[in-house]
Amino acid sequence: MRDELRELADLFYVKIMEPSSGININWIRREFMRLGIRDENVDNLYIINAPVSREVWYYIFVKLHENKKLHLFLNSLLDKLGGVELGILKNRLDALGMYYDGIFREKTFNIAVLVSGRGTNLQAIIDAVENGDIRGKIVAVISNKKDAYALERARKHGIEAFYVPPKKGESRENYDRRIAEIIDPLNVNLIVLAGYLRILSPWFVERYKGKIINIHPSLLPAFAGLYGERVHREVIEYGCKVTGCTVHFVDEEVDHGPIILQKCVEVRDDDTPETLAARVLEKEHECLVEAIRLISEGAIEISGRRVIRKG
């Protein structure tokens, strides 16, 4: 490979032989249009011809912003080339967020969200996934409450919503095993507790260790174990000047696992539990989306009680 090609090795490229393939810049542009890849998402696109052992190979360099839809483009190339002559750097696929099993597929980060109530935190996650801030997919929303508005929100966005009714006298573990039956076939990478008002069994926590996160509306470890308006009422009555929210990994103790992110909110003299809750809730949405983004990008790791940025 020529030197200038080596320098570009961090770009994605494919190797084709012209003219038999019929692939040229115009064809690529047409494909981009057909696939809905807009110009602003194409950081780099050009074809170079490079003589390699007396043959002339053509390299297409394509760099799509955030690699969105790159797998679709690769599949077009596969079709066009009839599956041959595609000299893609297969070892780059992982870094490009893809895998290959006959066709190119985007690796997805699958999220399950457990809810009990109105689901504004769920909505923040849905929005972030839809606008691309979180590169992942919500594969299930599960609730222990039939009338949880969160289920409705999920359905409105075409997300599978499950109501799992607790049975009378059923143990926590048994209930959680029924949740696991839903989650397990879905290849879930992360379980988010977003206003989920059930304590998880040790069995469940152990099974998905390091894969469950929770949002709590106070600066933990202060005001742990409380929920709803009670948290904010106690914050005000205690005389705190700041409060906030915490996203943390879940361990066997309630509101206790390693802290991923926290955000502060000032407590004002005229605050009521309702006004304070509303301002904390805004921060919860930011915090939860940011935490999921970091986890989905593999940007953090757990070290004892601490969660630290990688690299």
Using the minimum distance from each CB to ligand GRF, give the nearer residue, 195 or 258: 195
How far is Cα 76 from Cα 146, in angstroms, rounded to an integer? 44
Stretch that binds ligand GRF, among 101-109, 114-122, 232-240, 298-306 (CB under 6 A): 114-122
Under rule CB under 6 A, residue 255 binds ligand GRF: no
To the nearest whole angstrom, how small is the minimum distance from the Cβ of residue 284 to ligand GRF?
5
* # binding residues, ligand GRF (CB under 6 A): 14
Stretch that binds ligand GRF, among 30-38, 79-87, 112-120, 205-213 (CB under 6 A): 112-120
CB environment 128-156: b (16+ within 10 A), e (fewer): bbeeeebbbebbbbbbbbeebbbbebbee
Stretch that binds ligand GRF, among 69-77, 120-128, 131-139, 296-304 (CB under 6 A): 120-128
Under rule CB under 6 A, residue 121 binds ligand GRF: yes
How far is Cα 127 from Cα 132, in angstroms, rounded to an integer? 8
Using the minimum distance from each CB to ligand GRF, give the nearer residue, 135 or 232: 232
* Active-site choice (216, 232, 248, 256): 216
To the nearest whole angstrom, how small is the minimum distance from the Cβ of residue 175 to ligand GRF?
19
To the nearest whole angstrom, how small is the minimum distance from the Cβ of residue 215 to ligand GRF?
5
To the nearest whole angstrom, how small is the minimum distance from the Cβ of residue 214 to ligand GRF?
7
Contacts 24+ apart (CB under 8 A), 15-20: 15/57, 15/58, 15/59, 15/85, 15/86, 15/87, 15/88, 16/57, 16/58, 16/59, 16/60, 16/77, 16/81, 16/85, 16/86, 16/87, 17/55, 17/56, 17/57, 17/58, 17/85, 18/49, 18/56, 18/58
Is position 285 annotated as part of the catalytic site? no
- DSSP collapsed to 3 states, 140-188: EEEECCCCCHHHHHHHHCCCCEEECCCCCCCCHHHHHHHHHHHHHHHCC
Using the minimum distance from each CB to ligand GRF, give the nearer residue, 76 or 143: 143
Using the minimum distance from each CB to ligand GRF, give the nearer residue, 71 or 216: 216
Under rule CB under 6 A, residue 257 binds ligand GRF: no
Instruction: Give me the 268-307 binding string for ligand GRF, x by CB under 6 A, dash otherwise.
Output: -------------x--x-----------------------
- In a 10 Å sphere around its CB, with 0-12 CB exposed, 13-18 middle and 19+ buried, how is residue 70 labelled? buried
Q: Which of 292, 291, 307, 309 is nearest to 136 (CA)?
A: 292
- Interface of this chain with ligand GRF, residues 190 to 249, rule: CB under 6 A: 194-195, 215-217, 227
Do 206 and 178 touch, CB atoms closer than 8 A? no
To the nearest whole angstrom, how small is the minimum distance from the Cβ of residue 216 to ligand GRF?
6
Q: Which of 18, 21, 165 is nearest to 84 (CA)?
A: 21
Using the minimum distance from each CB to ligand GRF, give the nearer residue, 16 or 280: 280
Which positions are annotated as active-site residues? 216
Residues that bind ligand GRF (CB under 6 A): 117-122, 194-195, 215-217, 227, 281, 284
